[in-house]
Amino acid sequence: MTNAYDKSYLPRAQKTLGRMLDFACHELSYSAKDFWTHFLKSGVAAAFGNGESRLIAGMSGIELAYEVLDRCDKKYKRPAEHLCSDEKSPEYWAAWALAQYQWLRGLTFSDIESFAPIDDVIGMYKPYHEMDISQFDDELDRLYRKTHAESNLKRLRIQAGLSQSELANFANISIRTIQELEQGRKDINKAQIDTLLPIATALHVPIETLVERIPFAKI
């Protein structure tokens, strides 16, 4: 999987997003849930997740917060002075950690919100802020799999109204291969293009939708 932007920009992106939420909550008096909703709906979240350099490297967290509110046509009063960023606040940590997870897994922030709402992530501050970030990643992977127990292939096949045998026939691939890919016994992310292309064609979906952003494993 290709990350949206180079890893060298990740620390800056994390600090920017962390400061954004910390500032919105502690200086603009937004609840984390309300501001994060604006962040998701404004288009800023999608652009940030896609690696738009103006957002991840060209703005401070305060400027990014204002960008969100401006895009949502929200009125606000700019504080005359800004408090120093509290990099130890639960809100800062939550956005900081989510920036890293989004970059790592390539999910959208909206996708992540569906299984790890911002208030729940803030609630993970203790004990996860004292742990290695990989343990936070593992916990979000677990939450993802709890709500996405089926592989992308199985979900897309069911949406298309096809049985495994019908998909195998349309794609001219053995039913055993379809079964192994759906159940994770074969890693679909490592499958050859001559396997993926006919499956995607039969399902009328782009090949990239078959890819598992989170390593597939049964709960």
Residues 150, 105: Cα–Cα separation, whole Å: 17
What's the confidence (pLDDT) of residue 216? Answer: 65
Determine the pLDDT at residue 219. 40
Identify the structural domains of the chain with CATH numbers, from first to last.
7-147 (no CATH), 152-210 (1.10.260.40)
Read off the amino acid at residue 159.
Q
| Sequence-distant (≥ 6) Cβ neighbours of residue 150 within 8 angstroms | 158, 182
Q: Rounded to whole angstroms, how far apart are CA atoms 116 and 108? A: 12
> Locate tokens 């709500």: which residue?
147
Taking only Cα atoms into account, the Rg of the chain, rounded to an integer number of angstroms, comes to 20
pLDDT at site 177: 96
Left if phi > 0, otherwise alpha if psi is -120 to 50, otherwise beta: which for 2?
A: beta
C-beta of residue 71 within 8 angstroms of C-beta of residue 43: yes
Which bin fits 184, alpha (ψ -120 to 50), beta or left (φ > 0)? left
Residue count of the chain, please give it. 219
Q: Which two tokens stand for residue 184?
A: 């994770």
For the record, the structure tokens of 29 come out as 């008096």
pLDDT in tens, the chain (219 residues): 678 999 999 999 999 999 999 999 999 999 999 999 999 999 999 999 999 999 999 999 999 999 999 999 999 889 888 777 777 899 999 999 999 999 999 999 999 999 999 999 999 999 999 999 999 999 999 999 888 888 999 999 999 999 999 999 999 999 999 999 998 889 898 999 999 999 999 999 999 999 888 866 544
Closest listed residue to residue 104, CA positions, set 139, 137, 56: 137
Token pair in block for residue 116: 């790890």
Q: What is the pTM of this model?
A: 0.82
